[in-house]
Structure 1
Amino acid sequence: MPIIKLSATERRRVSAFFTCLILAVCAWIFSVLSNTYNYTVKEALNFKNTPQRRAFHSLQSDTVNVTVTGSGWEMLFSRMNNKVKVFTVDLNSLENKSYIVLSTQLDQINNKREIGQQITGFIPDTLYFDFSNRKVKRVPVKLITSIRYNKQFSQSDNITIKPGYVIVNGPASVIDKLTEWPSDTLKADSVNETLNTDLGLQPVKEGNLSIYPKTVRVNVPVDEFTEKTLLIPVKLINNYNYDDVKIFPQKVKITFMVSLSRYAETDEDFFEATANLDLWRNQGYKVLPVVVSKIPWFCKLVKVEPQNIDFIVRK
C-alpha cells in the first residue's frame, strides 16, 4: 500500500514535472555539446616526399598529441573511438636540414581534414631526425606458415615464393644487419589441395626503411600421402680392418609415407640403411641397430623391421 496517495490531478502534475525536467536536461546537454572546444588527441604521423639522397631516422615517437578545435559531440566521439587518426607530414625540407616544424605545415594539413576537426597545435611541434648513408640490399623472403592439413594430406614438394627476394632501402647500419625479410603468417586449416595465394610481407617498423615488393606469390604443393614398404640392403660401416663380417638379415623392411604423385618413382635407390661396426668393437654390442641414414625429404619414415641385426665376425 503506497505511503503517499496522489489524486489523478496530482499524478498528472508530477508526470508533467519530471517530463519537463528530463527535457530540460536533454536540452542542456545538447546545448553544451553543441559548443566549440579545444581538446587533445593522439594522432599518428605519415611521411611523404622522403629524402632520396639521405636515409633518416626519427628521434621521437611516430605519434604526437594534437590540439583539435571541434564541437562537444566530436570531442565525445573522439574519446569513444580508440582508432588513431593519421595525418601526413611533408619531409621535403629534410634535404638540407635535420628537423621539421609541424606548425609551418598546419594549413596544408588542415586542408585535408574535415571542417569540424581542424588542428590548432602540436605537442611536440618540432620533429628531429638522425641521418646516415642510404644503402640498398637484396634479401631473401622468409616464409612464416601455420598450416593444418587434413588426415593423410601434407606438403608434397618444395614451396615456391615469387619473387623470392625483396629490395630493402635504408640506413647502411640497419641494412647491413638484415639477412632475410619475414612474410605475414600464411594460415590455413583442413588443407587437402595445393595452396596458391598472394601473401603480404611484414611492414617496416622504422620510417626510414622501405621494401619492394610488399607482397609475394606463394605456392605450397599439397598431395595425399600413403604408406609404402620396401626392402633395402644394410650397409656395414666403420669396418676399418676389413674383417669378414656376415650380417643377418642382409636387408630390412622400411615403411614410410609418400605422396601419391611420387609413389611409383620412389624405390630402393632413394634410401640407405647402415649398421655401425664400431658399436661392437668399442662398446661390445651383441647386435647392431639399423639406422636409415638416407631418406628423401618428401618421405616420412614410419618403421624399420627389424630394428637390430645379428652379425658374425670371422677371424
Structure 2
Amino acid sequence: MSTPPSAPTASAGGLTLAELPTVVAALCDRVGLDPTGAQLIKFTNNAALRLATAPVVVRIAGSRAARASITTVVQVARWLTGQDMPAVRLLSGIDQPVEAAGHVATFWEEVPVTGPAPTGADLGRILRRFHALPEPDFALPDWAPFPRIRARIADAQGISARDQEWLLEQCAAVEAEVRSLDYVLEAGLIHGDPFLGNLIPGPDGPVLCDFDGVSWGPREWDLTPVAVGRLRMNYPEDHHTPLADAYGYDVTAWVGFPVFRRLRELVLVTSVLPQLAGNPGIRAQWEPRYASFRAGDTRTRWDTYH
C-alpha cells in the first residue's frame, strides 16, 4: 500500500495508519480482491483507498460515528442506485458491509475522475433532484448532528480540558438555538454534508458520494455547507450563488441561517479533533480556525484541511 509522506500516524477513532496494510489485506481477502499496491486517498473519519488491481475503492470506518452509520450508508447507496441517481455505486456481488480484522468497510465501484470540475450549479441541480426523491422503503435516522459533535470532542487529541469544556458549552448553546428554529422548506431526505468535495467529476457528469450523514431532517441544512463556504472558506470563487439559483432557494435569506452557520462552523472545527495529535499539518490549519471561532470572529478565512 502506498501512502503520502505527510499521512498521519495516530489513531483515527480506532484505526491507525500503521495497521492499514493489515486491515486492507484482511478485508480484501474476505471478498476475494488483491490489495497489492492499494493507494490511500484520504484518512480522516474514514480511510479511503483505491485498489491498483481492480477499479474499486475501499472505505474503512475509522471513527465511532462512521462505524455507527455504515448500515445506513449501504441501504442508502443501494436505494439511490434503484432511483438512478448520479451517485457512487457499491461493488456488486458481495455482502456489505464487510468485517475483518476488527474493522468494518464498504467496497465501491471506482468513478474515473475524468470530467470537468463540478460547479455550484451542478450541486444545486443534484440536491434538487435528491430532495425530490420519494421516501425510501427503510427507516432513515433523524438528523442528529450533536451526538457526533460530542463524540469527536470526547475523542479529541492534543487539546486542553478547558478547550473541550468550551466546545461542549458551544454545542449545548447551538443545540438550544436549533430547537427554536422555524423552517421554510419541508423536512425530508437530506444528504447531510453536500459540498463540492463530495462530488466526483465522472465521465458522465458529477457523481454524489459520502452518505454517512444521510438522514431525515431540514432541507435548509443541505444548503448550508456551500453558503458557509462562501462566507468562511478561502475559496477562489463563489459556488453558493449558482447553487442557490439552480436549487431555487437562497438559504442565506432565511432568518435561521446565522444559527446554521454557527453549527456548520462548529462541525468544521470539531471534525478533525481525534486526529490533531498525529497530523501536524491538520493542526496548523485547525488552530486559526479554532482561534477565530472562539473569538467570535466571522471574517477570518479558513483554509481547507489536506
The TM-score with structure 1 as length reference comes to 0.18
Q: Which has the higher contact order (CA 8 A, sep 6+)?
A: 2
Could you say which structure has the larger radius of gyration?
1
Structure with bigger strand share is 1
The TM-score with structure 2 as length reference comes to 0.19
Structure with bigger helix share is 2
